Amino acid sequence: MGACQAFFRAAKESCQNDLLARCAPALSRTGNVSLTPCQQHDPLNMEGFVVYVDGSWDQAGGAGIGVYLLQNGSLVRWISKGVRASTSDQAEALAVLEGLQILHLAIGEGRVLSDSTDIVSAIQAATPVITNWRAFSEIWQSWKLRVQSQGKYRVLHCNREDATLKIAHKLANQGRTYGWEKTGCTENDLNMEELV
């Protein structure tokens, strides 16, 4: 086994163990005690794993991503993280990539929902459509993950007025504003007053 393969195998195992360790309480509330691939469902049906993502960017160069992972409608994990991005499209693409990496490394199947029609269209296309070259790398990586999944991952558009997407949006804003990296597995870990 090559060094690259060993690295990615170790990263995958580490991510799975991290998700299981951090999220066991939330999973036990939903009756699931492990992160296993879900059955393929209609994209509008919220069964299985659904990752709501959003990116936040300001002209001063601050950026953040918010990720809100649900399984069968119950919270599994949330992430608020400061990132580097040159444009709002790059911040959105980083958020989608984060969601796809969670599916790829830890879960194996599900949907990523974003309010960025440009990024969703670029990743869902037969060949990646790059309209903002500063987001090229993130779009390309996301597109490759989606294609390699052979239909197990879907990237779909979600109306920005969706209540759950608004949580991801607020997480992204907090990541941009404070530059932190916070994560949690319960709504108790998520201080909603901080997000308003």
Which pLDDT score is estimated for 48? 84
Q: Whole-angstrom Cα distance, residue 176 to residue 99?
A: 17
**Residue 130's CB: how many other CB atoms inside 10 A?**
18
- Residue found by looking up tokens 């691939």 in the block: 37
Domain boundaries, the chain: 3-195
Q: Is the pLDDT score of 7 beyond 90? A: no
Give the whole-number percent of the chain exceeding pLDDT 70. Answer: 72
Contact 70, 46 (CB under 8 A): yes
Which pLDDT score is estimated for 187? 77
Tens of pLDDT, residue by residue over 134-144, are: 999 999 999 99
Task: Label the pairing between strands 110-114 and 49-57.
Answer: parallel
Enter the CATH code of domain 3-195: 3.30.420.10
Q: Is the pLDDT score of 14 beyond 80? A: no
Tens of pLDDT, residue by residue over 63-119, are: 999 999 999 999 999 999 999 999 999 999 999 999 999 998 877 789 999 999 999
pLDDT (mean) for 122-127 = 94
Contact 168, 67 (CB under 8 A): yes
Give the confidence band of 191 by pLDDT, cuts at 50, 70, 90.
Answer: low
pTM value? Answer: 0.75
